[in-house]
Structure formats: structure tokens, C-alpha cells
Structure 1
């Protein structure tokens, strides 16, 4: 028989989820097939690929980004009888940089795989390049292996919590199905509170004074002697949207129905007092 030393490679990247333990990394499994020109009666060699079983091999993993190489490591392992290998990228022998210092910023990275069959002289042969689909969850590890919360998260008693400082422009994309909701917000009763608006061009959230949004109407009434009850310009939706003045002085009142207010007893009117009612809507 004649060996071609040509390796057919089938990759199964089992998970992109990082397993944070003593050493961070992600699982990697592959089936390696050895194409051999052999004579097997009753078979078609080109359609019967043989697993590269029980062979000493070296795997080299290179992680790159758009700027170049970030990290290289190697694993010296042997395939099982079925040609399978299983390693954790991050636990190999570092060749360039360290796995802990990889910056998972959400930008596209690639995992490049090379294979060296140790019983021949071909050296490392390029096998495959795949996108790394790890989506960072606003966390990374520093050089000491400790978890560090970033970009809107913070650490408290070994728990990661929402409420940290944003360190970069951050976008949350929603659609008709995947919506964003805030439940249980407290009701504002302060007329000086600001409201949140969305910039129509950028989608950036901004704050805006309610005075620029709310409209108002007012009415001036010449009071009768002893009068306390007055009709508002609009139906009452909230007493916090109404201000009442008698001869220019702000006075307290209560609502007795949806269109009538009653002044405090000490504010009983004299004939022709000027009562000004200002109502926001």
C-alpha cells in the first residue's frame, strides 16, 4: 500500500461557551480521517475513508482578529481508535501570548487549526479556519485569572450585577418580537421631573424638560363674596397638573369632582378677587 499523508479533516466545534474554571477555555472536538491508497477487496477506497486512529499528533491553534494574531497554543495528544480528538483551547502549551489576555470585545475572531502527524516529516499542515462565535457577556479575565465586570456590570460578593458604568457606546437592538420593557417604574409626581426621549437620527436616549412638552391653559375668574369652589378649564386628570392663584398668590386646593376644585378655607374669596387657574395637559 502507499500512504499519501493526506488528512481529511472533519471539525465539530462542540461549544463556543467559555468554561471558566482554574483555566478558561472552550471545548474542541474533531474527527481526523486518513486517506490511504489501499486495496480492500469489494470496496471503493475513494468512498471509504479510514480514521487516523491511535496516532501521536500535535494540534496548533491560532486565534486571529482583523489586526492579526492574538494567541497561539499547541497540544501534543493522540487520536483514539476512531480518529477522534478532544481538547480545551486555552489549556495547551502557549506559543504566543496567553489565553487569559485575549480581549473578547465582540468583534469577529477566527480559530485557525494546524495538524502535525508526528510519525512523518510533513510538519504542521493547515486544516481549517472557523469563526469564533463567542458573544462576550460584558466580562473578561485580567492577567491574574480573576473575573472583571465591564461595560454596565459590576462585581459584588462574587456575583455579577447590572448597574456598572458604560465604558463604550452601547446599542440594544429590538424588533417587533424581541422587545424591551421596564416594569414597576415609580410614578412621577414632580412637575420638574424630566422625560426620556429618543433621538430620531441616532436612537440615542436623551433627557428633556417637561416644560418643553406639556401644554397649558388658564382661566381668570372674578370671584363672588365667600366663593370657594371653581370650575377648571379642563377635566381633572391629576391635581399635580393644576396651580391656583388668588390675586397673584399661590394657594392650596382640593378636587371635589373631575371638573371642580375647592380652595382651602383660609382662602375664602372677597367680591371680585382674581382667581387664576392654570392647568397642564
Structure 2
């Protein structure tokens, strides 16, 4: 067990502050965030050029150091050493919360291991901002972020989510939006309600609400610009998967058939049955296809 008192005067190290930045509208920067960045000894930024625009706007003169997904192995030991020397570091991503679909988590875990205080600041978050205006039930929700880029991996991940009753939150870039919507439709179905939340907090903020089928029709005839949050309603009528009942009454092959009837591809149904019984996929595959 590790206990942290964030503002204990007896702390012998510096402090890592996790500072949210605006997701579009600079007026969403908090007074505390500006104050922390001004008082910090160093700002660890995902893109120093992008963050410099923010610093210029708020007249923050603190020195920056780059910290992004491609230099974490090199940079984390350096930042940890500076924190151990007593420096205060503010870590920021390009927009929104550090660690949420952005760099930061590995640095946080390294600080915790080294008993360096980690202090989070509240602030802008695209997922929650979209959720509360989506018109879809805001709780419970399941935040996913960016889906994998390869269609095979996307399908696999969505198959794992197809029966979840929680509202689902995804992020997507404009050039991949249509393909992602089509994959959502293929796995989750035509009628699942969703909301496309575009350019949040900016001048061209827009919400497109409807079924996945309707949203695909919109995206297919539109020049798509801006970053998107996709809010998708949960499955209120999931395939029944009571494992006790399945184990007691159905063979492995029958269980696979049950999931196929619920809309899963054969291989995904086999994976699901194997996972539920803690079996290797090959065992279920062989039994289903009667391979000895």
C-alpha cells in the first residue's frame, strides 16, 4: 500500500502536477492551471510548439521540455531525477487531460514508485463534455478512447463491447470517422443510437444525433472536418450469457452457436466461449469444427 499526502511539507521531493489544457476554447483554462504552470520549474509538454501558443496567451514564461509517446523511455528517468532534486514539474498534453488518450500514465506510475507526489488538477475533458450534451444516458458510461486502426483489431475490440449496457465513449479523427462508423454499425447494429460531437468548445461546435445508420448517411455525404467524440448508447438487450446456465445445459459447440445467433462472427464466438471457460481458443475451435 502506498499513501500520498499531496501537500505534506515534509515531502522531500518535488511534485508532478497533471495540468489539463483547453480542448479548443482558451477561456476554459482555469486560474489554478495558469498559476501552477507559472510557478512550476519545468513544463513537460506533448508538443512544445503547440503548448508555447498557450504559454504566450497566458504570459507564462516557464521553460518547456518535450514529453511524448516516442520519447518516454528516455525522458522518464530524466524527469524523475529532476523531481528527486526538488523541482516542480507541470505535465500537459496538447488538449484536455494528461494520460487520457495522451502521454502521462507511465510518468505517473514511475513517480508513484519513487514516492514522488502526483497532484491532478481538474479541467477540460472532451469525453465528458460530449457525454453530457449527447442526449444519451450519461451514466453509467464506459470510456474507450481511440479504437485500433486495423479493421480486424477494431472488430475484435467492439465485439468485446457489444453486450455492455453502459454508454460508450470513443474518440476519432475526421479522416477515419466514416470507416469507424461503418464498423460500429457492423458490430453493434443499425439501430444503436449515437451522437457525433464535433469541434467541442470551438466556433464550429456541432452535434449530430441519431441511429448509427443515420449517422453513416450523414458522414457519407459530408466533408468531414474537426476532431470527433462518438457517444454510443449501451446495449439494453444483450445476448444472455449466464455462464452457469451455459455450462450446465450446453456443450461448447452449442455455446458457440448461441453467440453466432446473437450476431457474432464464428471466430469471435469461439474466442468468447474459450475466454469464458479459461480454455485455449484452439480447444474450442477443434471441438466446434469436429477436429480430432
TMscore range, shorter length: under 0.3
Decide which structure has the larger Cα Rg and report it: 1
> TM-score scaled to structure 1, two decimals?
0.23
> TM-score scaled to structure 2, two decimals?
0.22
Structure with bigger helix share is 2
Higher relative CO (CA 8 A, sep ≥ 6), structure 1 or 2?
Answer: 2
